Structure 1
Amino acid sequence: MTSSTDFALEIQESPKRRNVKNEKPDTLDVHERQGKDFLTAGEMDMVLKASRKGKFGSRDHCMFLLMYRHGLRVSELIGMRRSDVSLDEARVFVRRKKDGLSTSQPLDGEEIRALRAYLRTRSDDMPWLFISMRRAPFTRQALNYLVSQVGERAGFAGLHPHMFRHSCGHALANKGTDTRLLQDWLGHRDIRHTAHYTRTSAKRFEGIWG
């Protein structure tokens, strides 16, 4: 029996907004004037665990994992094709939007297992990596709705897809990732966008008191 969440996804209803503002201030330090726009690694683990539940758990978990690990924008995720993934070589081609740097990136063991589990559920020959129950490409509206529903399930009301990208940037910065390497991983053309993550990283302040 199809759940109400699955039904809502299939008719692709637009998600109800939860006080999310669309305005985009001109300065690059917009994040500094907003509230927390990312999840910690531990919080993201809770979201990934919650994404496994439901009729399409293997698909949802795979989408969320790739979106987080590779800092994917919505358009980048739903635009992925099966040919972008090579499980034998453990690589995924990330085609960046907004004139970003597109790169071939490694897949770790967890991602490969998630992809294999999901692809085993596919019996079609459609080119898109992620599809809906109606065998159509995922839409932005459907992904927004799915993320908000899984977020509530995990205890994070108001979760939206772009927070996965920010969470990726902060997680890698906290691991001490070089700013230039992080810039290329996220596909930023302007390093000032990347610097936000390294400037606010807790790792940067470790040992400041000796």
Structure 2
Amino acid sequence: MLRVRTCETGGYAYYSVYLSEGDPREGLLEGNPWCKPDGVQPRHWKMPLTIQSKNFLKGLSQDRRSGGKGEKTPIRLLILRGNRLRVPVYPGPAGLRYFKSLAYRRYDAVNKHWTLPYTDKVLAKVKEVLAPMYPEIEVEDRRAKKAKKKTKRLREHYRSCPEEMKEKLRVKRYSESTVRTYTSMFSEFLSYHYAHSPEEITADQIKAYMRHLVAEREVSESYQNQMINAVKFYYEKVLGGQRRTYFVERPRSGRNLPTVLSQKEMSALLKGIPNVKHKTIVTVIYSCGLRISELISMKVSDIDYGSRRILLKQAKGKKDRYVPLAERTELMVKAYLKRYNPEEYLFEGPSGGQYSPSSVRKFLKRYSKAVGVKKNVCPHTLRHSCATHLLENGVDLRYIQHLLGHNDSKTTEVYTHITEMGLDNIKNPLDQLDL
């Protein structure tokens, strides 16, 4: 039984804590640096009247292992979208120290929970520090994507993207993927305002549409940003630089960590792919850290076996770069070429031409599920996994940045928050003090 009351002696306010004899939570009180024995009455402790003490005591009260009927109350850890782990209980002194050692950890003082970057290692460590207080721990994965709310629109309300916008996009050398995205989104925007011509749509109507996307359709941050860019392009580039959309509020970018496969999961995935062509595609993406667009654009002539590297022409940002060709990858590519003999592109569809990106996504999900990988795996997951595994193997961050083709080193630095390499070797400054 746990009893807590607020006391005051000589102007000093504190919590007075009492535990009944034999309560297993006594060890937690003894291990708390803020908690001091009363010195007069047995099983009494004093704690300062602070928010840390309040949260600690709240965590103790939730631990019912020694409740009246021996009732056990399991706690539930939530894995959220963006690879975030939510811990809804007080983690104890050891747990607090671990939580505060993690990058991107956050404490919600209103709802009294922690959110941490999620990896398998972090989850295992959280379970370890919570186990003494909460013997029953459940984990719920809530990363499954929700079905997007679609707005039904009558066929007669449909408005196609103006041809001058398509022409302007191609004149300015935008990629075909960007042309398709912008024209599709601007067509959707015009269909929403079907009663007005593009020149009649006001800045307030544009802002109202952006709020509609967020509040009613619940689109993602990236989708909203793409829509803003498509609308801005038309009004600023096609209509001669009108600045009506400059003041549209952009969404705050969340700090979501990418999904990464462990080296064990990556090995199981490659072993579980029987199709030679599919296995070669996955191997090339992973070993070279490629984007899906870079893979399908790669030609047979881009491989330089003499220098063991591959030239990626006009990759994202219209930049060329080289990536290394690993020895195992070279052997697999040669075996694949001997069997399939593609004419131009390294990976071609059944009727020739570039391989379909959607086909890669589909078979990758199918094979991942078959080998027991529960994560949401896509081609970009292999790219993230390559960068993370290179970092764990001691490769310099600057080299990884060049390999991935990142302009800004901050983009590459996100992988330092996924791996825990070297965290165990960091000495906490508190341990160096003479206390």
Normalising by structure 1, what TM-score? 0.78
Any gaps of 5 or more consecutive residues in structure 1? Answer: 1-17
Against the structure 1 CA distance between its residues 98 and 88, is the aligned structure 2 distance closer, same or farther, given a 3 Å change threshold?
closer
d(CA) in 2 for partners of 1:207 and 1:95? 41
Please tell me whether residue 154 in structure 1 is matched to residue 371 in structure 2: yes
| 1:200 to partner: Cα distance | 3.3
Residue 196 (structure 1) shift: 0.7
* 1:19 matched to 2:237: no
- Structure 1 window deviating more from structure 2 (180-189 vs 144-153): it is 144-153
> Who is 1:134 aligned against?
351
The corresponding residue for 2:362 is 145
**Which of 251, 255, 258 lines up with 1:29 in the alignment?**
255
- If you compute each CA radius of gyration, which structure gives the higher value, 1 or 2? 2
| Residue 67 of structure 1 pairs with residue 319 of structure 2 | no
- Name the counterpart of 1:84: 302
Q: Look up the SS of the partner of 1:128 in the other structure.
A: coil
Matched, 1:104 2:316: no
CA-to-aligned-CA distance 1:26-55 (integer Å, 9 cap, x gap): 537332xxxx6110111111111112x1xx
Instruction: Determine the C-alpha separation between the residues in 2 that align with 1:96 and 1:181.
Output: 20
1 or 2, which has the higher strand percentage? Answer: 2
Deviations 1:175-202 (A, max 9, x none): 1221111111111001111001124321
Partner Cα separation in structure 2 for residue 63 and residue 181 of structure 1 = 23
Q: CA deviation at 1:98?
A: 3.0
1:101-148 deviations in Å (ceiling 9; x for gaps): 532222121011101110011245x21000123333211111111111
8 Å Cα contact 1:78-1:130 kept in structure 2: yes
Is the 2:365–2:377 contact (alpha carbons within 8 Å) kept by the matching residues of 1? yes
Q: 2:311 aligns to what?
A: 93
Secondary structure of the residue that 2:276 maps to in structure 1? helix
Larger mean CA deviation between 22-31 and 137-146 belongs to 22-31
Structure 1 residue identity aligned to 2:324: P
**Residue in structure 2 matching 1:179, options 391, 397, 400:** 397
Runs of 4+ in 1 over 4 A off after TM superposition: none
Question: How far apart in 2 are the matches of 1:137 and 1:208?
Answer: 48
Q: 1:6 maps to which residue? A: none
Residue 190, structure 1, aligned to residue 408, structure 2 = yes
- Which of 244, 269, 275 is 1:47 aligned to? 269
Answer whether contact 1:82 1:127 (CA < 8 A) is retained.
yes
CA distance in 2, matches of 1:206, 1:81: 44
Report the 3-state secondary structure (helix = DSSP H, G, I; strand = E; otherwise coil) of the residue aligned with 1:202: coil
Could you tell me which of 415, 418, 432 is aligned with 1:200? 418
Amino acid at match of 2:259: D
| CA spacing shift, 1:108–1:123, aligned 2, 3 Å | closer
Structure with more relative contact order (C-alpha pairs < 8 Å, separation 6 or more):
1
Count of residues in correspondence between the two structures: 184
Runs (5+) with no aligned partner, structure 2: 1-143, 149-218, 223-250, 429-435
Amino acid across the alignment from 2:270: L
1:100 & 1:66 partners in 2: Cα distance? 21
Distance in 2 between residues matched to 1:137 and 1:164, nearest whole Å: 20
Match of 1:121 in 2: 339
With over 3 angstroms needed to count, the CA separation of the structure-2 counterparts of 1:104 and 1:171, relative to structure 1, is same
Q: Percent identity between the aligned chains?
A: 26
What is the letter of the counterpart of residue 61 of structure 1? K
Spell out, residue by residue over 1:139-169, the C-alpha distance to the aligned partner (whole angstroms, 9 max, x if none): 1111111111111122124321110111111
